[in-house]
Structure 1
Amino acid sequence: MSVLNFLVRRHPSNSEPVRAKEELIFHCGFRRFRASPLFSQHTSADKHKLERFLRPDATLVVTVYAPITFPPASVLLFKQRSNGMHDLIATGSLLSVDPDRIVIKRLVLSGHPFKIFTRTAVVRYMFFNREDVMWFKPVELRTKWGRRGHIKEPLGTHGHMKCHFDGQLKSQDTVLLNLYKRVFPKWTYDPHVPEPVPWVRSESALPVQEVEME
């Protein structure tokens, strides 16, 4: 077992939203299994941003725990309906078997300026104790209106902090702090996949033939 990364693209025949960590059925090479994968961007960087949904307009990387397979094995992704039928949602191939590929999730903390001076401001509601302010002091700050800054020092014991920016803030501006956390796929590998229910045409859908009365 290892971490498999599949490069897939959304199939045009399906438009239902598919969330990350939702159970899907994989047809990879000669194997078929169920798992709850992660979706991430396909870039040349060493860190890749997590995607919350399987986007229809981009090629994404699907990460899952599964048996080791040699690339470039083809893969089909299916979603099981409540009635047992399988819907094809994406197609692609095996990109790599790499447990060191880093998938990160971005979290944004927000605060509001309390007192504004020339290039400094007192920000509150981002943290609620002095220790958190000291811990995140090296992280750069930004605002919705494009200002950049950093934490200068904490004030008091309730999370207020003095921040320095490259310009004067507006009272309606919002101070933001970006945090990144590495995420891992869930261990939900299941080799037992039920057979899909065959599609049967109902009698109501059959064409009605006119019968002449004798």
Structure 2
Amino acid sequence: MHKQAQLNRAEFEDQDDETRVQYEGFRPGMYVRLEIENVPCEFVLNFDPHYPMILGGLGNSEGNVGYVQLRLKKHRWYKKILKTRDPLILSLGWRRFQTIPMFYIEDHNGRQRLLKYTPQHMHCGAAFWGPITPQGTGFLAVQSVSGTTPDFRIAATGVVLDLDKSITIVKKLKLTGFPFKIFKNTSFIKGMFNSQLEVAKFEGAAIRTVSGIRGQIKKALRAPAGAFRATFEDKLLMSDIVFVRTWYPVSIPAFYNPVTSLLQPTGEKDSWRGMKTTGQLRHERGIKLKQNKDSLYKPIVREKRHFNKLHIPKALQKALPFKNKPKNLEKKGRTPRDQWRPAVIREPHERRISALISALSAVNNYKMKKAKVKHRQQLKEYLKVKQKEEEQKLKRQKEAKKKIYRMLGQREKKRQKSSLKGSSEGEKSM
């Protein structure tokens, strides 16, 4: 390249500048005059030579404005996290402009879910309305360009991903309803939708109760409006709350505000301020944030619920094993009925009679117990004798059977021998 430059210089050294520009173009160090049309008059009136300007050019497709998708990450030195719908100033390509980005993250199924804040130490997606910029262009974002701040000012960095106008960012929407008629596993739900058409769009959707019973939307009812029939895994209670999880598309605000700090008067170029956040406006005007009563913590008061006694049908009780059958036993610690009866005070004669009867009954019980033990012992001995007799009887029967089978076998052998002799004599006579 150095040799080529020396050859060019030697070749065109004798010619004038106009001819050299036609062949070589404008050489470094030459002065060039540019004419730019439709420049605001404030740019000329408030021109400050202390602010250098860089001249650049845009491609044919970069003059349009549309939806741009970015991959964005909050700068690790920036103290605050960024919030969706808060205005942000981007330095993207040749432009500096203020816009309202919407942060999202892409789920495993391709759904672009809205984020309220930028995640810590992780990339996320962002979409905004602004100038079309080629893919792969890097950018940096700041929240304010006015004045000087002692803290780190670059809020986020990233790169342009896509220029797709059909981007759909969604956020969670939970619809709730309440049962007004309950059958076995079927219930009629109201308060979730407003019309039969809305119910028709959600036919077959999975629903759940707060207690964890899963179900499915079946069909809309004629009255009341928005009510529907649903089936569940188990029977509901009237106190159950039914909800369905849905996704609602979020629109990206079409806000694009170029930073016109060079049009400010001399000495005020670093005081440009664009759209302010709601928090800044509230702070400047001294407006206090109204607290939502539903967002405050309250003491939880729950009424004690009384459930009905478990009823098991008789047919099912018969089929159950004994350990699982309900036992109709009295609870321990219950006082017998005799304690509520009035005490009987006996006469001395009656006491002696009662003592004699109790002594006689004790003697009788002892005799009965002794007799039972003796009877059991006799029964054991009797069973042993019977068992021995039974064994001897079986032994005798076996021996008798052996004798009989032995005699039958001998008789059969004799018959066979006699038949063989008869056949041999017949053959000899022939």
TM-score by length of 2: 0.41
- Which among 106, 109, 120 is matched to residue 42 of structure 1? 106
Number of aligned residue pairs: give it. 197
- Which among 101, 121, 129 is matched to residue 65 of structure 1? 129
Q: CA deviation at 1:31?
A: 2.1
Q: CA deviation at 1:48?
A: 0.9
Q: Is the 8 A contact 1:119 1:168 kept in 2?
A: yes
Q: CA 1:156 to 1:52, structure 2 compared with 1: closer, same or farther past 3 Å? A: same
Q: What letter matches 1:151 in structure 2? A: K
Q: What letter matches 1:153 in structure 2? A: A
Q: CA deviation at 1:142?
A: 3.0
1:115 is matched with: 181
- Which among 11, 17, 27 is matched to residue 91 of structure 2? 27
- Which among 92, 105, 119 is matched to residue 55 of structure 1? 119
Judge which range, 36-45 or 3-12, deviates more.
36-45
Which structure has more helix as a fraction of its residues? 2
Quick one: distance in 2 between partners of 1:46 and 1:64? 19
Quick one: distance in 2 between partners of 1:142 and 1:15? 41
Q: What letter matches 2:175 in structure 1? A: L
Which structure has more strand as a fraction of its residues? 1
1:97 is matched with: 163
Matches within 5 A, 1:59-208: 59-80=123-144, 87-144=153-210, 145=212, 147-154=214-221, 156-169=223-236, 171-194=238-261, 196=270
TM-score by length of 1: 0.75
Q: What letter matches 1:183 in structure 2? A: V
Q: What letter matches 1:147 in structure 2? A: R
Q: Is the 8 A contact 1:130 1:157 kept in 2?
A: no
Q: Where in structure 1 are there 5+ consecutive unaligned residues?
A: 198-214
Percent identity, aligned pairs only, is 23
CA RMSD of aligned residues (A): 2.9
Quick one: distance in 2 between partners of 1:129 and 1:70? 46
1:14 is matched with: 78
Quick one: distance in 2 between partners of 1:104 and 1:29? 29
Q: CA deviation at 1:78?
A: 1.4
Q: What letter matches 1:6 in structure 2? A: L
Q: CA deviation at 1:64?
A: 0.9
Q: What letter matches 1:160 in structure 2? A: A
Quick one: distance in 2 between partners of 1:56 and 1:146? 36
Q: What letter matches 2:84 in structure 1? A: A
Q: CA 1:154 to 1:75, structure 2 compared with 1: closer, same or farther past 3 Å? A: same
Question: Secondary structure of the equivalent of 1:80?
Answer: coil
Quick one: distance in 1 between partners of 2:189 and 2:86? 38
Q: CA deviation at 1:160?
A: 3.1
Q: CA deviation at 1:174?
A: 2.5
Quick one: distance in 1 between partners of 2:147 and 2:117? 23
Quick one: distance in 2 between partners of 1:62 and 1:192? 20
Quick one: distance in 1 between partners of 2:165 and 2:147? 35
Q: CA deviation at 1:130?
A: 4.5
Judge which range, 56-65 or 126-135, deviates more.
126-135
Q: Name the structure, 1 or 2, with higher relative contact order (CA <8 Å, separation 6+).
A: 1
Q: CA deviation at 1:171?
A: 4.9
Q: What letter matches 2:128 in structure 1? A: V
Q: CA 1:127 to 1:88, structure 2 compared with 1: closer, same or farther past 3 Å? A: same
Q: What letter matches 2:259 in structure 1? A: H
Quick one: distance in 2 between partners of 1:131 and 1:96? 36
Q: CA 1:117 to 1:82, structure 2 compared with 1: closer, same or farther past 3 Å? A: farther
Quick one: distance in 2 between partners of 1:2 and 1:178? 31
Q: Where in structure 2 are there 5+ consecutive unaligned residues?
A: 1-64, 262-268, 272-430
Q: CA 1:123 to 1:73, structure 2 compared with 1: closer, same or farther past 3 Å? A: same
Q: Is the 8 A contact 1:37 1:62 kept in 2?
A: yes
Q: CA 1:81 to 1:166, structure 2 compared with 1: closer, same or farther past 3 Å? A: farther
